[in-house]
Amino acid sequence: MSRNSERPDRAGARRGLLALALATSLTTPAMAQQPTLAAIEALLPEFEKQVARGMQDFSVPGLAVGIVHDDKLIYSKGFGVREVGKAEPVTPETIFQIGSTTKAFFATTLAQAVDAGRLKWSDHVSDFVPAFQLSDPFVSRDFRILDIAAQRSGLTPYVNDGLAFLGFDKETLFRSMRAAPQIGIFRSDFRYLNIPHLAGGEIVAKVNGAPSWFDSAKASLLDPLGMTATSGTADAIAQAPNHATGHRPDDKPVAIPFHAAFPYALGPAGALNSNIPDMAKWLRLQLGRGHFGEKVIVSEENLDVTWTPRVAVNERMSYAVGWLAMATPRGRAIWHNGGTSGFGAHAGFLPDARTGIVILSNIGSPALADALALWFYDRVLGNPAVDNIALASAAAKKHREQERQEQTAFVVGPPPANAAAFAATYASPILGDGVVSLVDGKLQLRLERTDLTMLLEANRDDPNLFQARLAPSGGYAPIVAIVGDTPFVQMRFERDMAGRITQLRWINPELPHSFSRQADQ
């Protein structure tokens, strides 16, 4: 869910979220396998070699793995350290952010509400959260409970997630969806979003009479499963005695702070913190088809709704409801990854093989976690062997090169000679006023509503094109540490036929916002 991993998954998963899976999954009809405990244990020495290799290739400081088979946690182990440069080791009990693997928890709380008769999958979202409106009136009205978690809105992927970094509240995030263009076909095109889950969380809390989605999920799901180490805030993970520190991928891993803005502001899209023992209980619930011990936590009928493919990612994979459904030559896999700014996670299971795996890491990308999990699925099912680490490493290298090319395509030049002409107040109907001013010969934009300043850098070849970096002032130093010293958004000043500046437009697809210039006072 991060700006540098799942883009502003930015809520959990990156733009290349599915690249490795798409390269290695096949469409052959599933053929159920029944692996033995001995067969799985025989895989572990080679699996641990893959872990060591992957941690080196991806510069991962620490990682924890849990494997569930036949309703038992049969393997749990920590690797590496909780924070780069420090000695404290990762253990199975170490707490990590789990990013967008939270989405499956959200989907299950929806299923529980349907079980209780408090919701129907076909209920309209706007009937419960009137503030949740989209740009297309038909889609806005017809958007259903199931659509929230099925990722088939047709909107720009990750749209407006970055507003959480800029300090905007939940109500603004809701309103921002009205500015998101409908670029795909509703219910036909896969488009990965985070903000609709906030509306879904409001709905679950409302129908269950709970203060928040997390409170509701704790009462109906986490507590019955005994997931006592799982939490949903930045303070909770920071205060846990045994927690991992997140790391931003760079030339080498950079430790970053916890902050309420991300992923926690996106709630059921990616806000949970957990560890291996707790996540093993979660996988046992899934493999138990809604049963946990003697308890029925969710009906098999409505749990099956969350596993059922809803929209094709491509011919090899579909998004279900909070899960990805993947076909392999010898069986299906149900999984989801999670990437926050500092953590990468994978949780998944083989429903016909009674086996699941969770991998938690303290690097801001799920690439290694995905590669290890896919390696595991293939070996358990007896699929053709694939070098998943090599594929993932190549995909990550390609992604980094694309990012470098994007960054170098914008050549910074000196401030325009008429820089003072850009100074004015610009108003957005969604984000409020932005004040552009000239300070020490350089332009900056201040968002009045959140007291955030962006430093504007002019393009060498286009006098109206700028890129903006977040300034570490006004309490935003932790946010800058999280996202890094990279441009956050590009923007263009628009002019009328007479050459007068009339508008400021952000041109990143994920932040489609315009500000109209106000009359000079």
- Per-residue pLDDT tens for 353-365? 999 999 999 999 9
Report whether 338 contacts 344 (CB < 8 A): yes
**Residue range 331-341: mean pLDDT, rounded:** 97
**pLDDT of 323 above 50:** yes
Give the Cβ contact number of residue 289 at 10 Å: 15
pLDDT at residue 11, as a whole number: 34
Render pLDDT for 285-320 as a digit per residue (tens, 0 to 9). Answer: 999 999 999 999 999 999 999 999 999 998 789 999
Structure tokens at 187: 């219910």
d(CA 77, CA 47): 12
The percentage of residues in the chain with a pLDDT greater than 90, rounded to a whole number, is 89
Give 59's pLDDT tier (boundaries 50, 70, 90).
very high
Dihedral sign for Cα 485, 469, 155, 113, please.
positive
Structure tokens at 245: 């520190």
Dihedral sign for Cα 284, 288, 292, 296, please.
positive
Give 33's pLDDT tier (boundaries 50, 70, 90).
low
**Residue range 378-395: mean pLDDT, rounded:** 94
Report whether 318 contacts 312 (CB < 8 A): yes
Phi first, then psi, for residue 343 (nearest 5°) are: -140, 150
The lowest-confidence range among 23-37, 185-199, 251-265 is: 23-37
- The SS3 call for residue 201 is helix
pLDDT at residue 314, as a whole number: 81
**Residue range 108-131: mean pLDDT, rounded:** 97
In the numeric block, the tokens 């096949």 are attached to: 26
d(CA 457, CA 448): 20
pLDDT at residue 1, as a whole number: 53
Q: Which helix (H) or strand (E) holds 59?
A: none
Judging by DSSP bridges, how do beta strands 442-447 and 291-292 pair with one another? unpaired
**Residue range 154-163: mean pLDDT, rounded:** 96
Beta bridge partners of 493: 504
pLDDT at residue 55, as a whole number: 97
d(CA 440, CA 64): 49
In the numeric block, the tokens 């180490």 are attached to: 229
In total, the chain counts a number of residues equal to 521
Give 176's pLDDT tier (boundaries 50, 70, 90).
very high
pTM metric for this prediction: 0.93
Cβ-proximal residues to 427 (8 Å cutoff; 6+ apart), any chain: 433, 434, 515, 516, 518
212-247 exposure pattern, b = at least 16 Cβ within 10 A, e = fewer: ebbebbbebbbebbebebbbbebebbeebebbbbbb
Render pLDDT for 421-480 as a digit per residue (tens, 0 to 9). Answer: 999 999 999 999 999 999 999 999 999 999 999 999 999 999 999 999 999 999 999 999
Q: What is the DSSP letter of 517?
A: E
**Residue range 16-27: mean pLDDT, rounded:** 41
Rg (alpha carbons) of the chain, rounded to whole number: 23
Structure tokens at 466: 């700028």
Structure tokens at 297: 């936590």
